[in-house]
């Protein structure tokens, strides 16, 4: 598989190598060893989630506070979507930067989102199904939301929407980036670097 870092440090785009024949195709979606070798991030999933969305549904921006933090490996397994990752780590050299990836089920492209980053997507087709592998299990009260249409971020949802976005009430009422920082829900860049390093050290000790 091909793994490249996006414009947001610690977020990676993963393009699998499809093996095709008359029956269809096969590909490896995720490899622990390859992701660790190419990115330096140790990712051992603890929970798998799926969402199904109508065209024009916008989910995000979402993140998990540190602790515990949560990394995600995001794949579209049916339909297509515009995936967005935003650097919301306080003190990061790229704070506020974002990158987009079109995830299409026919291609198998995935995005790895490290702890401390915010993530969202808009469904490009009806019945789009998204798979999320998560590094930690759900912990009530640790999730945070950021307003996806925050003018400070100016995210390019318009290229994917043909009408008003379908939003949950929680996402609609979410604070902007500056307000989220004032609420104390965003991790610092230093906290995230320490978390990444601790995960590498723990994985090394385990083997």
Residues with a catalytic annotation lie at: 62, 132
Cβ pair 121, 58 in contact under 8 A = yes
Sign of CA dihedral 69, 71, 77, 79: positive
Q: Copy the structure tokens of residue 140.
A: 């009530």
Cα 159-161-166 angle, rounded to 5 deg: 145
Helix (H, G, I), strand (E, B) or coil at 81: strand
Q: Which two tokens stand for residue 30?
A: 């995720």
5 vs 145: CA distance, rounded Å: 24
């Amino acid at each position: 598989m091909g793994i490249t870092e996006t414009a947001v440090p610690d977020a990676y785009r993963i393009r699998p190598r499809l093996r095709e024949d008359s029956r269809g195709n096969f590909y490896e979606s995720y490899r622990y060893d390859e992701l660790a070798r190419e990115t330096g991030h140790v990712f051992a999933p603890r929970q798998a989630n799926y969402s199904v969305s109508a065209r024009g549904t916008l989910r995000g921006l979402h993140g998990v506070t540190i602790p515990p933090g949560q990394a995600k490996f995001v794949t579209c397994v049916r339909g297509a979507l515009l995936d967005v990752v935003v650097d919301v780590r306080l003190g990061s050299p790229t704070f506020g930067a974002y990158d987009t990836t079109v995830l299409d089920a026919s291609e198998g492209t995935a995005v790895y989102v490290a702890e401390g980053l915010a993530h969202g997507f808009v469904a490009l087709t009806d019945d789009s199904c998204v798979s999320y592998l998560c590094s930690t299990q759900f912990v009530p009260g640790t999730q945070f939301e950021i307003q996806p249409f925050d003018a400070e971020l100016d995210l390019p949802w318009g290229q994917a929407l043909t009408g008003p976005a379908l939003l949950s009430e929680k996402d609609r009422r979410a604070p902007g980036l500056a307000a989220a920082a004032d609420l104390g829900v965003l991790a610092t860049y230093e906290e995230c670097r320490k978390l990444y390093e601790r995960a590498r050290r723990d994985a090394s000790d385990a083997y």
